[in-house]
Amino acid sequence: MSELTVSLPTDPGLREALGDEPGVRFVTWDLDGPAPADRLDIVVPPYWGGNRQLAQLAGVETRLVQWQSIGYNGVTKHLPQGVPLANATTVHETSTAELALALTLAAQRGIPEFVRDGTEHRWDLRSFPSLADRRVLLIGYGGVSKAIEARLAGFEVEITRLARTSREETNLAGDRVAVHGFAELHERLAEAEIVIAAVPLTDETRGLLDAAALAAMPDGALLVNVARGPVVDTEALVAELQSGRLRAALDVTDPEPLPADHPLWDCPGLLITAHVGGDSSAMLPRMVALIRRQIAHLRAGEAPENVVVGEWPSA
């Protein structure tokens, strides 16, 4: 069997963690200059390089691009036609779910307020809402939302699930659960005390949580966004936060990075993290495991996992 050529970015630790793979030649390329070879079996772009870097693949015979994110919105604008791209399903779900839960707990139990009290050495005894007994709406029901649901299992919440189409699904506990469709969005938002968005960014989900959708949420409700910033109408969210009617915890914003003078920063009832959901110590070993599996698939003449753009040629 011929040797595979795998292009890796200079991301810290990735090449070292992969070690040596029999029959595989690893080369380094950040998609910022000439390709290291005319033919590449797998190209792993930099995690934070953006979509535009994919245009560098023009003229390079590329069998598979292994993206390092689950989300892949916008890649088709720059990816050469006919090049298959696999996303990083199995890599980020756990870390993103952890952050979603952390943001929810922090916002519910007043952690940002107590941190501010601590910097001023002020003891201020106050009561905040629990997570227990709350009605939680999960918007999107893919791997991230299922991981969030699994982590909410011990918190005694009532969970409703909503995705593009209504259906029954099996959750990570092995139970069959009902998933409502987007057609019921406003109805389900009106029932929810905590809304956690974990949908991919598509034409259908862009602006999904617009002014009308936010207005449907009850007074005092919490919106947690670990999806993509444009899923939420930023101007409408700012208005709701400034009025004090809603609260929010955002790992993603629109625009992003959020400019220092943006009004979101000064909104009451808001907690922001800098799009760090999937970027934890769990990412590297899971990314390494996925790349190794993709190498094994190609060496065995099998289709790779997670192909979300383009088609893998049939045998």
| Cα within 13 Å of Cα(189), Cβ side | 23
Helix and strand totals (H; E) in the chain: 8, 14
Q: Are 80 and 53 in contact (CB under 8 A)?
A: no
CB neighbours of residue 61 within 10 Å: 12
CA dist 259 and 21 (Å) reads 43
Exactly one of 3, 156, 184, 256 is catalytic; name it: 256
User: In what side-by-side order are the strands of the sheet with 61-66?
Assistant: 24-28, 4-8, 39-43, 61-66, 85-86, 307-309
CA dist 297 and 64 (Å) reads 12
Exactly one of 92, 161, 188, 228 is catalytic; name it: 228
Residue-wise DSSP of 256-304: SSPPTT-GGGG-TTEEE--S-TT-STTHHHHHHHHHHHHHHHHHTTPPP
**191 counts as catalytic:** no
Q: Are 295 and 19 in contact (CB under 8 A)?
A: no
CA dist 13 and 257 (Å) reads 25
**228 counts as catalytic:** yes
**256 counts as catalytic:** yes
Exactly one of 92, 180, 247, 275 is catalytic; name it: 275
Active site residues: 228, 256, 275
